[in-house]
Amino acid sequence: MAFVQNLPFICILLSLFTGPLSSILSGKMTKKLNLVMITAVGIMSAMVLAFTVKSGEAYTYMMGHFPAPWGNEIRVGVLEALLATVFSVIMLLCIVGGSKEREEELESTKQNLYYIMANLLFCSLLALIYTNDIFTAYVFVEINTISACGLIMIRQNGRTIEASMRYMIMSLLGSGLLLLGICFLYDLTGHLLMSNIKEQVQILAATGEYQIPLLVCITLMTVGLAIKSALYPFHTWLPDAYGYSTMSSSAILSSLVSKGYIILLIKIYYRVIGIDVIRASKITNVLFVFGLVGMVMGSVNAIKENNIRRMIAYSSVAQIGYIYMGLGLGSEIGVIASVFHILSHAASKALLFVAASGITRASGKNKDFASLTGAGFRNRLAGIAFTIGSLSMVGFPTFAGFISKFWFAQAAFENANHTKTMLALIVLIISTVLNALYFMKTVIRIYTPAPALAKEKNYQNITVRGQAPKSFAMICFVAMNFMLGMCSDPIMKLIQSGLEMFG
């Protein structure tokens, strides 16, 4: 067995132990440690990716000395490795990009706590991606929740605490349902390892026994994860959580955390229940409908918003709607589109958050639109970055969003059910226009020269050097956007092969 195969496990452990380690180090040190750790993880995941691509098949990694039905396992395929790589890159950039805000908004004594949370969060994300044991998945979901909550509340003001309370409540409801679903599943199949569960479920499906309990636990798990990943009607916690926490937190939360749950959902569908069973149970249609509603309503709320951060937050509600719509189409290509959108949205949404903070800094930390006027001239790089992010969101060619829009449309088109097709296409059009409505409004606003009375708003000009880390992050994100937009084929192929390994 090649040494590379150990790396996923090592990644998880590394990120897990750097957490407690950070608690005894000073703020500066922890930051360095965290950055090093994430970079290392990124590199390792890249190696794993290369390995799996070369070997062309997934492998399971036994943790401890118990063989399959009893022990706990990690499973590594192309998709997992890819996600791990991308997530670590984005994580890194988010941390870098938000460093200035953290130094200002967090008390100096709490600096290191932030990194504890960040590391734990990262660890749990990796675990969610890699694990082959559904109960382990549950445990890491909880860890994920707790650390995310920490990331939100670490900026101490009433808003964030209230937001994190809200967040906790909703996600605990979600995880409660998830747990119950898992228990049912265990009860039905007597297994916790995904692959074994799947065998049993296949048998059940074949014999036609326990249809209703099976359906129930599918529903429970789906709803639980939907709540946690803020699918439209359950999004109430999201805008506050993203809107008021410190910048890097909201970037991480919006681009990674909620996506982690969706990944888990996809894993459950493919590796626990089996996609054909899912299709047979019409749950996809439900997801489809909610996705469509989310696509529209999220944007509508965003249009009403007057605070740029909250606006972006609402836009991620819409984007999550896209993803669920893709899942809801129930076809292979639909899921591919969703996974790709997870990546592209992660790239552009993080970019938007970073750029938005750059813009607001240039406008005296005011987040309302009136005072953002002309920010594009005060902080040029941020302005350009924001424009690119918006265009990508709107689905402008040569940017990431365009490709995912294309694949969604393609998926919708290849759907056998024409009502679904037309619905999806029309809603895609509508939501594109709505996206344009609020993103372009902002872009035009930040390129309108500021009125004369701008003095008392303590505007300041920010050069590229003046915000070096942020600039670095933004440039990287822009590059990612272009890469995803221009040469998406290899990535699509990776995703495809990864899903095949799932099945």
Taken in order 467, 472, 475, 480, the sign of the CA dihedral is negative
With beta carbons less than 8 A apart as the criterion, state whether 447 and 307 touch: no
Report how far residue 228's alpha carbon sits from residue 218's, in angstroms, rounded to the nearest whole number: 15
Member of 21, 40, 63, 180 binding other proteins (CB under 8 A): 180
Q: How far is the CB of 99 from other proteins (least distance, A)?
A: 25
- Per rule CB under 8 A, is residue 142 in the interface with other proteins? yes
Of 204, 63, 81, 74, nearest to 133 by C-alpha is 74
Out of 93, 168, 197, 382, the residue judged to bind other proteins by CB under 8 A: 168
Residues 467-486 interacting with other proteins (rule: CB under 8 A): 485-486
Shortest CB 243 distance to other proteins, Å: 11
User: Could you say which residues in the range 392-451 bind other proteins, by CB under 8 A?
Assistant: 394-398, 402-403, 405-406, 409-410, 413-414, 418, 421-422, 425, 428-429, 432-433, 436-437, 440-441, 444, 447-449
Enumerate long-range contacts of 342-345, CB under 8 Å, 24 or more apart.
342/83, 342/259, 342/262, 342/263, 343/86, 343/400, 343/484, 343/491, 344/392, 344/400, 344/401, 344/403, 344/404, 344/481, 344/484, 344/485, 345/255, 345/259, 345/316, 345/319, 345/401, 345/404
Between residue 187 and residue 206, which ones bind other proteins under the rule CB under 8 A?
187, 192
Residue 46 or 478 having the CB closest to other proteins: 478
Q: Which of 29, 62, 165, 464 binds other proteins (CB under 8 A)?
A: 165
| Least distance between other proteins and beta carbon 65 (Å) | 16
Angle value at C-alpha 493, between 270 and 76, nearest 5 degrees? 50
**Tokens representing residue 331 in the block:** 């076809």
Report if residue 146 touches other proteins, rule: CB under 8 A: yes
Window 374-393: contact mask with other proteins (x via CB under 8 A): -----------------x--
The answer to whether 470 and 357 are in contact (CB under 8 A) is yes
- Three-state secondary structure of 153-212: HCCCCHHHHHHHHHHHHHHHHHHHHHHHHHHHHHHHHCCCEHHHHHHHHHHHHHHCCCHH
**Rounded to an integer, what distance in angstroms lies between the CA atom of residue 323 and that of residue 421?**
16
Q: How many residues bind other proteins (CB under 8 A)?
A: 60
| Smallest separation, CB 333 to other proteins (Å) | 12
Under rule CB under 8 A, residue 67 binds other proteins: no
Spatial separation of the C-alpha atoms in residues 291 and 286, rounded to whole Å: 8
How many C-beta neighbours within 10 Å does residue 166 have? 17
Contact with other proteins (CB under 8 A) among 172, 286, 384, 423: 172
Q: For tokens 């590059």, name the residue.
A: 479
Shortest distance in whole angstroms from residue 440 CB to other proteins: 5
Our CB check for other proteins shows the closer of 403 and 499 to be 403
When the beta carbons of 270 and 340 are compared against other proteins, the nearer one is 340
| Least distance (Å) between residue 3 CB and other proteins | 31
Q: Which residues bind other proteins (CB under 8 A)?
A: 135, 139, 142, 145-146, 149, 153, 158-159, 161-162, 164-165, 168-169, 172-173, 176, 179-180, 183, 186-187, 192, 391, 394-398, 402-403, 405-406, 409-410, 413-414, 418, 421-422, 425, 428-429, 432-433, 436-437, 440-441, 444, 447-449, 485-489, 492
